[in-house]
Chains A and B, each alone.
Chain A
Amino acid sequence: MNVSELSEKLGGRILTGEGSRERQICGIYCCDLLSWVMSHAAKGSAWITVHNHVNIVAVAALSELSCIIMPEGIEAEEATLKKAAAEDVAIISTDLSAYDVCCIAHDNGI
């Protein structure tokens, strides 16, 4: 499943990352400790985090994650959107909880 398809399943909105909508999602990783994410998240994972500051873009890009998912209607800061656009990192915003995102991803074969 790619970023665009997952966003649709989550009833989400892709806030940025026009060029990375086709990127394949290999798994889900949910964590808010940035170093922990860089240490443990597998390449190609979709990363669920409540952080919305600009540093999450660097973490996603350096760790080669497929996209960032912001649950519970969290909106990205303006600086985050600009940085994500520059780095071509897709950010999905959804009203669902992290748990529901995981369940839907699992039900769809991720």
Chain B
Amino acid sequence: MADGLMKLHYEIPADDLTYAGEASSSVKKVLVQLGINPVQIKKAAVSMYEAEINAVIHGHGGAADIEIGNGRIFICIEDKGPGIPDLELAMQEGWSTASDEVREMGFGAGMGLPNIKRYADKLDIETETGKGTKVMITVMYPNT
């Protein structure tokens, strides 16, 4: 924490929804312990959960790196999946490539990326077909 930032790292398992959300739940607990405002906690936790689920379902797993400090929660979720061929289309609510099995569990409604955009103060997505996707979420919080 030499630079004043708390840094966290989590591995995201591939194709196993049983443990999906563990990283987001863990980050939420850290944010609660840090005394961050509940509104910002929800924004960070829900947007991270959606990105984590996407990495499990679509991205063959990956990793989450989080930085907290100086009024900013930065969440980077990177997968080694197939990438998103048409990002503009993927950002549309209701558009999804999820399998029937995943949909039957209540996921895959085509709301993951729109939800992230809705809850993040800043969202950057880098994606390349055949190489993977990097979702970078920023949530700002008032310094206490």
Provide a sorted-by-A list of 27 A–B residue pairs whose CB atoms are within 8 angstroms.
Answer: A33-B106, A34-B106, A34-B109, A35-B109, A35-B115, A36-B111, A38-B46, A38-B49, A38-B50, A38-B115, A39-B46, A39-B115, A43-B42, A51-B105, A51-B106, A53-B105, A54-B17, A55-B105, A56-B106, A58-B21, A58-B24, A58-B49, A59-B49, A62-B24, A62-B45, A79-B18, A87-B25
Q: A36 CA to B112 CA in the complex, in Å?
A: 9
Residue A61 lies at the interface, judged by CB distance under 8 Å to chain B: yes
| Interface size in chain A (residues, C-beta < 8 A) | 22
Having A53-B17, A55-B17, A62-B49, one finds 15 other A-B pairs with CB under 8 Å, namely A32-B106, A34-B109, A35-B50, A38-B49, A43-B42, A51-B105, A55-B21, A55-B105, A56-B106, A58-B25, A61-B25, A61-B28, A62-B25, A62-B45, A64-B42
Contacts of B24 in A (CB 8 A): 58, 62
Residue B107 lies at the interface, judged by CB distance under 8 Å to chain A: yes
Interface positions, chain B 36-80, Cβ under 8 Å from A, are 38, 42, 45-46, 49-50
Contacts of A64 in B (CB 8 A): 38, 42
A34 touching B107 in the complex, CB below 8 Å, given contacts A39-B115, A58-B49? yes
Out of A49, A54, A62, which one reaches B28, CB within 8 Å? A62
Residues 1-22 of B, flagged 1 when their CB comes within 8 A of A and 0 if not, give 0000000000000000110110
Contacts of A54 in B (CB 8 A): 17-18
Q: How far is the CB of A107 from chain B (nearest CB, A)?
A: 28
Which A residues form the contact surface with B (CB < 8 A)? Answer: 32-36, 38-39, 43, 49, 51, 53-56, 58-59, 61-64, 79, 87
Residue B122 lies at the interface, judged by CB distance under 8 Å to chain A: no
Residue B131 lies at the interface, judged by CB distance under 8 Å to chain A: no
Chain B residues touching A, range? 20 to 34
Q: A55 CA to B25 CA in the complex, in Å?
A: 11
Contacts of A87 in B (CB 8 A): 25
Pair A62/B21 contact, Cβ less than 8 Å: yes
Q: A38 CA to B28 CA in the complex, in Å?
A: 15
Contacts of A49 in B (CB 8 A): 106
B106 nearest in chain A by CB position: A34
B25, B50, B105, B106 — most chain A CB neighbours (10 Å): B106
B27 nearest in chain A by CB position: A62
Q: A62 CA to B42 CA in the complex, in Å?
A: 7
